[in-house]
Amino acid sequence: VGNSLNASSVTGTIATADQYVGRFAPSPTGPLHFGSLVAAVASYLQARAHDGRWLVRIEDIDPPREQPGASDLILEALERYGFEWDGDVIYQSRNHAAHEAALQRLLEDGLAYPCGCSRRDLANAPRGPLGIIYPGTCRDGCVARETAIRLRTTDDPVAFVDGLQGAITQRLESESGDFVIRRRDGLIAYQLAVVVDDELQGITEVVRGIDIIDSTPRQIWLQRLLGFRTPGYLHIPVVTHPDGDKLSKLTGAPAIPLEDVRPVLIAALVALQQDPPTTLAQNTLDDIWGWARENWNLEPLQGLTAVRVDQIAGFGLTVTPQLQ
Ligand code: GLU
């Protein structure tokens, strides 16, 4: 008994070479709302279904967008809902040295360059679905004092097969142009930080909302230039208000309740197209997770891009916008 206990506690804390490692990576811009709960549940169940590890990483590298206390509220909500993460919570801001080292490498290798273009300079730049398509103004040098750093791109297709959404391809040079990896205000851009941290933490599969799928080719491009592995990707549908707008802080999505969490967790399973028995809400939180783990099924999520919150009926959930 002693031995087997030992063995299981070791595998619970140390990743082996081929072990599944997943993560939930919220930005502390506000408390968890129902849409982020759904993303957390999906990544958690996918990791547990693979006997993998599940990490929580607070993406706190954009102070202007952060809300004081949000990290603690997010972690408290995860605890109340019965999530059990492996190891300590990771704070992305503590990986600053690794982000800077990656940036320096890209600069030294000539793969990235300073860009002094202001928003005004780019006012007439072409726009596409990914935003401004950077026209390459500073590719061959720039004299500005305050600069962003951009990553060079080419038009070779960057393709991947999403586990739920199928094949995705972008030609970065024409769809986004060279993109920012360090902002003019000195902050490391999300695209670079997420790639460095996923590599550092040995993430084998990323499960997250489809609202970020358009960033994935840029992240894969960064992984290639930095010599990192590309994890698998599953982009789950976003949860929207009845009018089709994504639930978010901006659209007034309320925080998920911290009391009486079971119906809300079940509603998250329904949003993920799982088919919990109606009696499940009478069970304990542990039982609900047990059912969810045993019955986790990606099939009904294939190709699904959005779930309207008003279509998740019958579990006492109300998610009404509360614009402040
Ligand atoms: N921090 C990002 C967010 O909260 C998610 C990043 C990711 O999962 O790659 O939207």
Check pocket membership of 125 for ligand 1, CB cut-off 6 A. Answer: no
Residue showing tokens 């698998």:
232
Has residue 1 got a pLDDT over 70?
no
Check pocket membership of 27 for ligand 1, CB cut-off 6 A. Answer: yes
Check pocket membership of 194 for ligand 1, CB cut-off 6 A. Answer: yes
Check pocket membership of 43 for ligand 1, CB cut-off 6 A. Answer: no
pTM of the model: 0.91
Tell me, in angstroms, the distance from the centre of ligand 1 to residue 239's CA: 15
Backbone angles phi, psi at 96, to 5 degrees: -55, -40
Query: Which of these, 5, 11, 6, lies nearest to 50 by C-alpha position?
Result: 11
Residue 1 and residue 221: Cα distance in Å, rounded? 48
Query: Which of these, 141, 72, 134, 87, lies nearest to 113 by C-alpha position?
Result: 141
Residue 106 and residue 100: Cα distance in Å, rounded? 10
pLDDT band, residue 17 (cuts 50/70/90): low
Q: What is the pLDDT of residue 323?
A: 36
Has residue 3 got a pLDDT over 60?
no
Give catalytic residue positions.
249
Tell me, in angstroms, the distance from the centre of ligand 1 to residue 208's CA: 7
Q: What is the pLDDT of residue 313?
A: 60
Atom nearest to 194 CA in ligand 1: 9
Residue showing tokens 């006012």:
123
Backbone angles phi, psi at 140, to 5 degrees: -100, 20
Angle of CA points 72, 74, 80, to nearest 5°: 100
